[in-house]
Amino acid sequence: MSNKRILLIIGGGIAAYKCLELIRRLREQGVATRTVLTKAATHFVTPLSVGALSNEAVLTNLFNLNEEREIGHIRLSREADLIVVAPATADLLAKMAGGHANDLASTVLMATNKPVLAAPAMNPHMWLHPATQRNVAQLERDGVTIVGPDVGEMAERDEAGPGRLIEIPTLVETITTALAISPTRSGSNTSTSKKAKGSLAGRHVLITAGPTHEPIDPVRYIANRSSGKQGYAIAAAARDAGANVTLISGPVTLADPDDITVRHIETAQEMLEATKAALPADIAIFTAAVADWRVDGKTNSKIKKKKSGAPDLSLIENPDILKTVAKKRKGRPTLVIGFAAETDAVVKFGTKKLKAKGADWIVANDVSATTGIMGGDRNTVHLITSNGVEDWPDMAKEDVAKRIITQAAKTLSARIKAGSK
């Protein structure tokens, strides 16, 4: 386990609640966390909850006599191996860039001689404001590491854009990298982290896997039987080929693979936002069995049985994630691969999907109940490209994954070479 320590400065934004998960995950990595809450942050999280997770005193006031006697802001600023500011609000970034020191958080940041990492989170308009962009540019010149923000839906439901706090697993990975320690996964005592040298070394591979759950009411949802096994196997194969892998996973019972950034989602709309936030990528592989429909206007209360019979559910179409990415005009991955789970005329429907979605490849398979493929450990696939159809024999899903990644790496290399001429 690590003996590293960070000082976490929590800013006053709605994303502050995510820092509870950050502290818990860092503790799993053996990283001790001491925290400073800004005055505004105490409106979103309490010192009691933060202290319970960190097992450390939570500091809030520059002029608290007891805190100063026991720790002192100068000592506090220099005892940690790294200072992390999350969420870094527009106000905190402005104070940091301007050299202010009028509260405990800003004073510590001015007094430290240790590296500083800031994870911004704010409304998209605030993030894109020229003043914020100037402040961020100044901080980067000053040597502060800025991570994020992500793109997606904000607390204001009608707002979407850059401003979401970077996903906690990604932030944990960034922090452990800055601390020069090897990250471990939850429930694992050792790490298999290694910088692989392979056919995809230095490339980013984005993969979706598993089902999505579309809520009907608080206890019921629309779903499918996808286990996520094929997608997880492809993610592991890409990692072993040296790629940096982002795996966006629906609800499955599989453990997170080592050395892979995993982002867990529930619904198709969440998967779409997580996919957009994970771009750009060199290769995108969409194995997820995304629910085609969701309920229009789900209720917040359990639907009760009535003598008049079953309720009428109005369904609306979910976003087409594969098509959205494959038909991007700007920032499209070099290679986009979709999956087609069919029960009849597998190659015919897979070929139609290739054209309709704008993908480069479609991996089609027969998921009829008699095949045992959905939820099983083996697969029989047909690789459909503009050059024709390859019928692969029955294989373990891990072998299918390795073969897909081997051919994808060759295709990517050829396209990059062709584009450079």
- Write out the catalytic residue numbers: 224
The sign one gets for the Cα dihedral 101, 3, 245, 272 is: negative
Is residue 381 within 8 Å of 397, Cβ to Cβ?
no
Chain center to CA of 388: 34
CA-wise closest residue to 320 among 288, 346, 348, 297: 288
Q: Look up residue 16 and give its DSSP letter.
A: G
Q: Look up residue 342 and give its DSSP letter.
A: E
Q: Give CA–CA dist 22/339, Å, rounded.
A: 34
What count of Cα atoms within 13 Å lies in the side-chain half-sphere of residue 208? Answer: 32
**375 Ramachandran zone, left/alpha/beta (phi>0; psi -120 to 50):** left
Name residues whose C-beta falls within 8 Å of residue 330's C-beta, 6 or more positions apart in sequence: none
Name residues whose C-beta falls within 8 Å of residue 96's C-beta, 6 or more positions apart in sequence: 85, 88, 106, 109, 116, 118, 135, 139, 144
CA-wise closest residue to 7 among 29, 37, 52, 30: 37
Cis peptide before 169 (omega within 30 of 0): no
Q: Give CA–CA dist 339/404, Å, rounded.
A: 12
Q: How many CB atoms lie within 10 A of CB 394?
A: 12
In the numeric block, which tokens belong to residue 417? 């070479």
CA-wise closest residue to 150 among 277, 320, 39, 311: 277
